[in-house]
Structure 1
Amino acid sequence: MAGLDRILGKYTDPDTGSIHGATFVAVDEKGNDIYRKSFGHCKVNSKNGPALTPDTATWIASLTKLTTSVAAMQLVERGLIGLDDDVRNVIPQLQNLKVIIGFEGEGDQSPKINTETHQGGPILEDVKGPITLRQLLTHSSGFCYDLRHPLLVKYSEWAGRQENMFSGTIEGLYHPPVFQPGTSWEYGPGLDWVGQVIEKLTGMNYSEYQQINIWEPLGAKDTTFYPAKCGVTEGDIHELAFRAEGERSQNLKAGPSPWKFECRDALGGAGLFSTANDYSKLLSALLAGGGPLLSEASIVELFSPQLGVSSMAALREFVVGEGPEGGKAWLYTQSPEEWKDVMEIRHCLCGLLNSKDVAGRRRKNTVNWDGLPNLVWFIDRESGVAATLFTQTMPIDDPPLRQLVLDLETALYTMINST
């Protein structure tokens, strides 16, 4: 534990560190703590402010997605929907979707979009085949986040859309898919639409569904889509910090979160506020076989590879990125020079899977995902360990945070492999 203490203390040192606060929790397959500590402060540039703790309320961004994957598998277990059922039969709003494939006049150097006459508008084609629950869970449905894709940025301008992926509304996530379902891979709002499927099939608000079917069975009391309704103020939560590009020191600036504190809809892709203590209870249950949330058979399905060949090829582009500093390849290589030769990475119903052991760290078939302000989680069933790092530092894949993740994981496995 001393090694983990030194790492977290180094990175959160208010004078020489690179982040203002971090919590790291690791648990074993019996639910016992391997490590559970917070270092640093809740507020940016505050040496004397409130100390960060494992019970500090934090916007967890895309760590929300794991909870929605679990909720979806609960409905599959109950026979309310199948993984390959067409969700458009549940959500009529999606029946009118068409795939965007381009814009008129794209051959011009500067195609103009006339929002009044709709000249120079989008080229759309009918959706071919179903949009399945499995595809929504694995980001292979055709949906992509609107601010990530140039076609959708242009579409929003053309359509005069007023809401987007950070609006806290399902309307902000309603726009054309960018490829035919099942033919590629793009990171997007599939899990938000899964939350809508759950609402339709259960007749419950998704927030209420999660409380009754996930957090209450786990004994977790501080996780919600609506923190203001639970007496939590914006001043109570872990403050978001921003680092200038190329900067690596503690020179952080506090800034507003892209996520609205009081959102209208309970969005299953990014909307939860939680604590490291609560979230580790979820990881512990999944590592231990699913109880009290899912059966062992559902856990096996949840963690099994799901993508076809064409979707796998697109996923690899996401993982590898455009160079050693891009993508997620840094999680699976020993040095930046290895990024082109990164092992085959697969996608299950709740995250990425590595096909081989990573020397000195995670074993093969470890599942992991992250959240925008550099939160991460992983579940390594082969080693019997799950862990999460809670931070609130931007931008995503911030170099110092990347190194912190690698240092913590290496130290954790050194500790558990020596016992």
Structure 2
Amino acid sequence: MAQELTVDVDPAEVGFDPARLDRLDRRLQRYVDDGLLPGYLVTVARHGRLAHVGLGGLRHVEDALPVETTTRWRIYSMTKAVTSVAAMMLHEEGAFQLNDPIAEWLPEFAHTPVYVAGSAQRPVTEPQTEPIRVWHLLSHTSGLTYGFHHAHPVDEMYRAAGHEWGAPPGADLAECTAQWAALPLVFQPGSEWNYGVSTDVLGRLVEVLSGQPLDEFFEQRVFAPLGMTDTSFGLREDDDPSTLARLYAPVRRDPLGPPVGIQPLDVLGDGFLSKPKYLSGGGGLVSTAPDYLRFVEMLRRRGEHDGGRLLGPRTVDHMTRNHLPGNADLATFGRPLFAETPLRGVGFGLGFATVVDQARYGVVSSLGEYNWGGAASTAFFVDPVEDLTVCFYTQLMPSSTLPVRTYLRSLVYQALVD
């Protein structure tokens, strides 16, 4: 039985002006009314109290099914936060040190070459001068990439091997990991930041270290303790398919012009209607707003939850501080391509982006706010200064279609008046 969401405090009691908070829903509803967003759900909590739940539009436009608090969403890269927490739980048990080379457990990465020059068909490579270490996977500084970037010859090599928005037919996580290890790295590990399959490889590391498939580890060690009863890799056999929101893509009159509408993207969306063979720690989970709120609130409480603790508070602090050299931001240390966050003023920790310069970020925020999002425009952020969590759900791909995340922050923070 899917859990409901219940506002449990008057917004004014936790520092929000209710009338100002309503501006958030009005802005999101305008996207729905303009036909640019199918539907949405947003939660705002402070001091552990749920102050606002906003929802509107449809989870399935063609069948006129409304968004409900129990709607399931493809959270895509918000899966990465779960995988990062799982890995750090093993770290706390002494399974590895952050500086350990991953080839100790994934020997296929011992001799992965590094791209230097040339085309995807005839790349010039060199040996690793620095091995991929566990913290490189957690911080996306491993040199691994994504096929959907379309920005580098190695991206093209990923696509040619069947790695763009999914896995080659029949391949599981172990097979995918071996295939990535056989392709060149984009750069020497630790020398740059690049969004890629690092967290998927981290998920494979969790499997090897724990001796469990990733879905079993998640269920037993993360979901069950947190009471996350509706989060899984794709829908389970007894789940109602109509509870899963349909995935949409923008319609544009001009390829470079603004969106003018939306259309179903079932070619990607239908892959989540059942459990996949490939368990993607980087983007494979389906969840609900009540479930993911439990996970995000655990982070806000620095690893604690109602039934106990997943992580020590200092471990969460370490994960959510900037790990880029010299406290650099992604615009300085990263590559100028897609990520689930702005690049200016934002650093990266162990599984999360973190704000290091609010002025350069260009959005009202707090120093040390940490966050991530998913390809279908879902997003969350945790503000330790304001003791605040915000989560947003929709199903519009890619997440760069609309500036929802910018509005999300500006309209939440303008409502804080204490």
TM-score (norm 2): 0.82
- Tell me the secondary structure at the aligned position of residue 394 of structure 1: coil
1:39 maps to what in 2? 56
- Tell me the secondary structure at the aligned position of residue 42 of structure 1: strand
What is the aligned-residue identity percentage? 24
One-letter amino acid matched to 2:31 = Y
**Cα contact 1:355–1:364 (8 A) shared by 2:** yes
- Tell me the secondary structure at the aligned position of residue 100 of structure 1: strand
Query: Mind listing any 5+ residue stretches in structure 1 that lack a counterpart?
Result: 114-120, 333-341
1:70-149 alignment, distance < 5 Å: 70-103=85-118, 113=121, 121-148=122-149, 149=151
Q: Structure 1 residue 406 and structure 2 residue 406: aligned?
A: yes
Alpha-carbon distance in 2 for matches of 1:180, 1:371: 27
Alpha-carbon shift at residue 163 of structure 1 (Å): 4.6
**Cα contact 1:44–1:241 (8 A) shared by 2:** no
Deviates more, 1:162-171 or 1:65-74: 162-171
- Tell me the secondary structure at the aligned position of residue 390 of structure 2: strand
Deviation digits for residues 54-106 of structure 1, max 9, x if unmatched?
32111111111111111111111111111111111011222232112233xx5
2:417 maps to what in 1? 418
Q: Relative to 1, partners in 2 of residues 1:18 and 1:306: Cα closer, same or farther, differing over 3 Å?
A: same
Q: Relative to 1, partners in 2 of residues 1:302 and 1:45: Cα closer, same or farther, differing over 3 Å?
A: same
Alpha-carbon distance in 1 for matches of 2:267, 2:388: 31
**Cα contact 1:37–1:54 (8 A) shared by 2:** no
Alpha-carbon shift at residue 290 of structure 1 (Å): 1.2
Alpha-carbon distance in 1 for matches of 2:22, 2:400: 26
1:290 maps to what in 2? 303
Alpha-carbon shift at residue 23 of structure 1 (Å): 0.8
**Cα contact 2:192–2:333 (8 A) shared by 1:** no
Q: Structure 1 residue 247 and structure 2 residue 278: aligned?
A: no
Query: Mind listing any 5+ residue stretches in structure 2 that lack a counterpart?
Result: 1-20
2:220 maps to what in 1? 212
Alpha-carbon shift at residue 5 of structure 1 (Å): 3.1
**Cα contact 2:330–2:346 (8 A) shared by 1:** no
Q: Relative to 1, partners in 2 of residues 1:351 and 1:316: Cα closer, same or farther, differing over 3 Å?
A: farther
Alpha-carbon distance in 2 for matches of 1:296, 1:220: 21
**Cα contact 1:222–1:274 (8 A) shared by 2:** yes
1:117 maps to what in 2? none
Q: Structure 1 residue 152 and structure 2 residue 154: aligned?
A: yes
Say which of 55, 61, 66 aligns to 1:51: 66
Q: Relative to 1, partners in 2 of residues 1:304 and 1:230: Cα closer, same or farther, differing over 3 Å?
A: farther
1:379 maps to what in 2? 382
Say which of 238, 261, 276 aligns to 2:245: 238
Alpha-carbon distance in 1 for matches of 2:339, 2:387: 27
Say how many residue pairs are matched.
376
Q: Relative to 1, partners in 2 of residues 1:186 and 1:163: Cα closer, same or farther, differing over 3 Å?
A: closer
One-letter amino acid matched to 2:320 = F
**Cα contact 2:329–2:348 (8 A) shared by 1:** no
**Cα contact 2:145–2:155 (8 A) shared by 1:** no
One-letter amino acid matched to 2:131 = P
Q: Relative to 1, partners in 2 of residues 1:232 and 1:143: Cα closer, same or farther, differing over 3 Å?
A: farther
Alpha-carbon distance in 2 for matches of 1:199, 1:81: 13
Alpha-carbon shift at residue 413 of structure 1 (Å): 1.7
Deviation digits for residues 290-333 of structure 1, max 9, x if unmatched?
11221111111111111125x947643758x48xxx8778x58x
**Cα contact 1:184–1:312 (8 A) shared by 2:** no
Alpha-carbon shift at residue 150 of structure 1 (Å): 2.7
1:365-376 alignment, distance < 5 Å: 365-376=368-379
- Tell me the secondary structure at the aligned position of residue 389 of structure 2: strand
Alpha-carbon shift at residue 267 of structure 1 (Å): 1.5
2:198 maps to what in 1? 190
Alpha-carbon shift at residue 287 of structure 1 (Å): 0.6
One-letter amino acid matched to 1:242 = A
- Tell me the secondary structure at the aligned position of residue 6 of structure 1: helix
1:362 maps to what in 2? 365
**Cα contact 1:165–1:172 (8 A) shared by 2:** no
Alpha-carbon shift at residue 263 of structure 1 (Å): 1.9
Alpha-carbon shift at residue 142 of structure 1 (Å): 0.8
